Amino acid sequence: MPLPPGTMGLPFFGETLQLVLQRRKFLQMKRRKYGFIYKTHLFGRPTVRVMGAENVRQILLGEHRLVAVQWPASVRTILGSGCLSNLHDGQHKHRKKVIMKAFSREALQHYVPGIQEEVSACLARWLRSAGSCLLVYPEVKRLMFRIAMRILLGFEPGHAGRDSEQQLLEAFEEMIRNLFSLPIDVPFSGLYRGLRARNFIHAKIEENIRAKMARGQPAGGCKDALQLLLEHTQENGEQLNMQELKESATELLFGGHETTASAATSLITFLGLHREVLQKVRQELQTKGLLCSMNQDNTQLDMEVLEQLKYTGCVIKETLRLSPPVPGGFRVALKTFELNGYQIPKGWNVIYSICDTHDVADLFTNKDEFDPDRFMSPFPEDSSRFSFIPFGGGLRTCVGKEFAKILLKIFMVELARNCDWQLLNGPPTMKTGPIVYPVDNLPTKFIGFNGQI
């Protein structure tokens, strides 16, 4: 069988520099020229990029048989071998089972008041500066970081202090900017800067872990994900591996705030551009008695009420279809296998694309339109399972996807019933680095919503 079409670029560097500099433009050019499966050379490795529901289905369902997860060397080095995304087979299954306890329905119900409190406080702050320009993306990142620190790692509100919290957030941004870089650890290289930021984050997280261990088991309520990991190591008589705990906590913070910040920013964008959709969200809230603002009574949310907001859920799905925060996932071929008539050689990296798979899915008509109603009627299970994959699929489906959905619902409910806003630059240009975000940070003016629909 032939290799997929494509080009390999320069020796060692391959086409990594073009990808880093051009991102979406580079990927769109490749898709137009070579189709749904093509070869390239990225991050020091020969690579096949794959898109389309049927092709992605074979990759995601081929875990442990055809492929295994393998992120680029820079990602493995910075995030560490002990985090969930870098574990395999039994280790991955066992760790995932422990972490999933933190995302059960009971746990999510326990998180709702804290999330609502943080979102309400943030929006109140935005409205106090009503009429002035606000850069949405950094503001939303700060909010989602606070929520992830509090809900996933158990940091008490205000425990870290605003300056320390800002330092941690800046370190995370530096680490994430350099996650996907050439595997060259020399001063001022991307990998060097990413590791330096990672070490600062680990030091702060270790302080929190040791404080947790000194405090002992929290009284009542559900436990955060880090607490569950701590208890798991103690209950099984395992030696407490501080490095693995720090790596797991860092991964939870990364997954728990970067992706939700991207999605929440996209929600503000699409609702700002499509006022008729925002009106329909408000109408749904009104039918559930939820349109009263943060200054009125009876606004407390819970899981039962949130699950009834069907149209609001469809707005989130449509946002994730058009602007998935994570553009794809990395695998490595465990053996040479055939994919749609092409040979995928053993040892080559395989990237499956989420954004391109959404773009080319036959399931969706008028693909470029923002139309949440398309999700109001269920799609046939067979055709939709791998046409819409914002959280990946198969054995490595995102462990926090239900947490993300609830968080985004609470954010949208509070936003719709408290705020009106205007995008000052119109539709933003989006960039991937590695999470999708607006290049201009989405400058926006917010004012209070008067309750009239």
All structural domains of the chain with their residue ranges? 16-448
Residue corresponding to tokens 């350099």: 178
Span of 39-53, 161-175, 303-317 with lowest mean pLDDT? 161-175
In the numeric block, which tokens belong to residue 134? Answer: 């606000």
Residue 160 has pLDDT above 80, yes or no: no
Nearest to 270 by CA among 432, 147, 136, 144: 136
Residue 216 has pLDDT above 70, yes or no: no
Nearest to 61 by CA among 339, 402, 322: 339
Beta strand pairing status for 45-50 and 349-353?
Answer: parallel
Residue 214 has pLDDT above 90, yes or no: no
Residue 241 has pLDDT above 70, yes or no: yes
**pLDDT score for 229:** 76
- The dotted CATH code for 16-448 is 1.10.630.10
Higher pLDDT, 347 or 180: 347
Residue 11, preceding peptide bond in cis (omega within 30° of 0): no
- Most confident segment among 205-214, 225-234, 265-274, 292-301: 265-274
- Region 370-383 average pLDDT: 84
Known binding residues are 398
Helices (H), 216-241: 225-235
- Region 59-88 average pLDDT: 87
**pLDDT score for 157:** 53
The per-residue pLDDT for range 275-301, each reduced to its tens digit, is 999 999 999 999 999 987 555 554 789
Residue 261 has pLDDT above 80, yes or no: yes
Higher pLDDT, 254 or 221: 254
The per-residue pLDDT for range 193-208, each reduced to its tens digit, is 999 999 999 998 888 8
Known binding residues for heme are 398
In the numeric block, which tokens belong to residue 356? Answer: 């391109």
Q: Are 66 and 334 in contact (CB under 8 A)?
A: yes
Residue 407 has pLDDT above 70, yes or no: yes
Report the mean per-residue pLDDT for the chain: 88
Span of 44-58, 225-239, 437-451 with lowest mean pLDDT? 225-239
* Residue 218 CB neighbours (<10 A): 12
Residue 218 has pLDDT above 80, yes or no: no
Higher pLDDT, 353 or 99: 353
Residue 83 has pLDDT above 90, yes or no: no
Confidence of residue 265 (pLDDT cuts 50, 70, 90): very high
